[in-house]
Amino acid sequence: MRGAGRARQRRRPVPTATADERSLTPYAGLAISGALCRGLRLVELIDAELSVARVQPVKQRRRGLSPGQLAVAIGECQLAGAECFDDLEDVRADQPGAIMRAVASTPSAPCARQLARRFKPSHIRAIERGAARAGNELDRKLGRDPSEAVTFDLDATETTVCGRHKRGAGRSRHGQLAYNSYVVTWAARGRALTSELKGGNQARIKAAESGRMLARAERLLPEGHGQITARGDSGFYSVELMNDCRRRNMRFSLSATRTSVMWSKLAEIEEHAWTDAIDMRGAQVAELPFTPDGWKHELLRLIVRRVPVTAEQLRSGSPKARRRKTIPPEQLQMVLDAQLDSTYAYSFIVTDIPQHEMTTAQVERFHRQRAQIEERFKDAKLGHALRHLPSGNLAANRLWLCCCLLALNLSALICDLSPAAAASGQATNKRTPKRRHAKTLRRILFCVPGRIVRTSRQIIVHLAEGFPHLETFNATYQAALALPGP
């Protein structure tokens, strides 16, 4: 009986794998980015800007990919998860999906490395101009008001690298070999406009370079734009940058460094002057007139925010914690000596925004929203490829950074399409919309396997049965296809 029972048992088939399916693509969602890039003529706009740039062309021969196609192809691969040049081979091997992508002929890794070394900073500026023109074109097609006020966020993020042959890299304040990426973003659009790549040993960018970045970003805005306000943290605080903004008719809101001057100004605030901050529990704000050394214009506004901190919170943290730097030195010592149970942590903001436009609490809240750029940096590192700068050549790393920001902008543009915006919970009438993170977009849109079938002069993408995001996929793709022509 036991032998008969064993005979009746069916053997499980041994699975085997083959690579002979000619219509299956692992990146079906790149059809969405491809339709968007074609609708906005992104490649053509970048190539047009590169052709008029007053520098030597990237390529001497016209065969193969154009420089614009190379930049867009790298950005498109980063949308799909590429983290180094070798990862381009994964998308290059996807022949069934080539017809759907913005650039069908994805370059090989050696070709991309070789060409990336030829891109100079002027070439990067041309790519930025082409990408900005495409973004402005989408804003126009979506019916957005070009004359609305503009907020620039200026910030930097550190990218740690490995190896002794990373040209241009330097030791950061943390002792690691790194690059610093300085970026100006358009806050309301969530798009990066211009960037600079510096060594990690340059803890602070010079005020003149910051001013030039803001000037480049201004030139990338649509004609007839509204008042510009530049926001930055204490790393960009300087009277030189303030004067530069004034010359360019830009307003500014900068976090001030905590110097002895600031602590002395804090002593001038009376207790009854403090009022509650907006959307920040326990925080209070106050205001004083202020004229920094070297400022020869009207009185500026010094906004001070204080947040209660307990002695337990201070003692439990590291002695090098940033929070300790936000407390007046004499009060900090009293708390550490158990003479005080709690104290306040202070932050300082210097701005020239008129009082009739924003109250003290409104200015502080507006400046606090500068943290949006941190979200964009987080998305660029965890969702795209800024976590790693793969080349030992500085020019190639500049192009990699530019393409990463291009991919970041494509993600923002896709979220700006109304069906995708609705799918992400975005209200179309909000000035600062909520956006899906790049990893989420990759999971529900870009890196979705599908079978491509051509029939009756149509291309049909068959996704897996039960795919939970089919409605979002179709709505976003149709919105990209339905963009009106130029």
How far is it, in rounded angstroms, from Cα 180 to Cα 210?
14
168: left (phi over 0), alpha (psi -120 to 50) or beta: left
How far is it, in rounded angstroms, from Cα 179 to Cα 388?
10
Which residue from 245, 136, 255 is spatially nearest to 186, judged by alpha carbons?
136
Q: Residue 25: in which H helix or E strand, if any?
A: strand 24-25
How far is it, in rounded angstroms, from Cα 77 to Cα 407?
9
Q: In this predicted structure, what is the pLDDT of residue 321?
A: 65
Helix (H, G, I), strand (E, B) or coil at 445: helix
Spell out the domain ranges in the chain.
Answer: 21-122+392-481, 145-383
Contact of 452 with 39, CB cutoff 8 Å: no
Sign of CA dihedral 436, 233, 212, 230: positive
pTM of the predicted protein model = 0.89
Q: In this predicted structure, what is the pLDDT of residue 434?
A: 57
pLDDT tens for 101-126 read: 999 999 999 999 999 999 999 999 99
E strands, 43-174, in order: 150-160, 170-171
Q: What number of H helices and E strands is found in the chain?
A: 18, 13
Q: Would you tell me how many other CB atoms lie within 10 Å of the CB of residue 227?
A: 14
Cβ neighbours of residue 279 closer than 8 Å, sequence gap 6 or more: 365
Q: In this predicted structure, what is the pLDDT of residue 423?
A: 43
- What are the residue ranges in the chain where pLDDT is below 70? 1-10, 53-54, 201-204, 316-321, 418-434, 485-486
Contact of 184 with 405, CB cutoff 8 Å: no
Q: In this predicted structure, what is the pLDDT of residue 428?
A: 43
Candidates 3.30.70, 3.80.10, 3.40.1130, 3.90.350; CATH matching 145-383: 3.90.350
How far is it, in rounded angstroms, from Cα 434 to Cα 471?
19
How far is it, in rounded angstroms, from Cα 415 to Cα 424?
8
Q: In this predicted structure, what is the pLDDT of residue 306?
A: 93
Starting at the edge strand that comes first in sequence, how are the strands of the sheet with 450-455 ordered?
Answer: 24-25, 450-455, 458-463
Q: In this predicted structure, what is the pLDDT of residue 103?
A: 95
Helix (H, G, I), strand (E, B) or coil at 56: coil
Residue 307's DSSP bridge partners are 345
249: left (phi over 0), alpha (psi -120 to 50) or beta: left
Contact of 401 with 387, CB cutoff 8 Å: no
Length of the chain: 486
- Joined together, the tokens standing for residue 185 give 């973003």
pLDDT tens for 5-40 read: 555 566 777 888 887 788 899 999 999 999 999 999
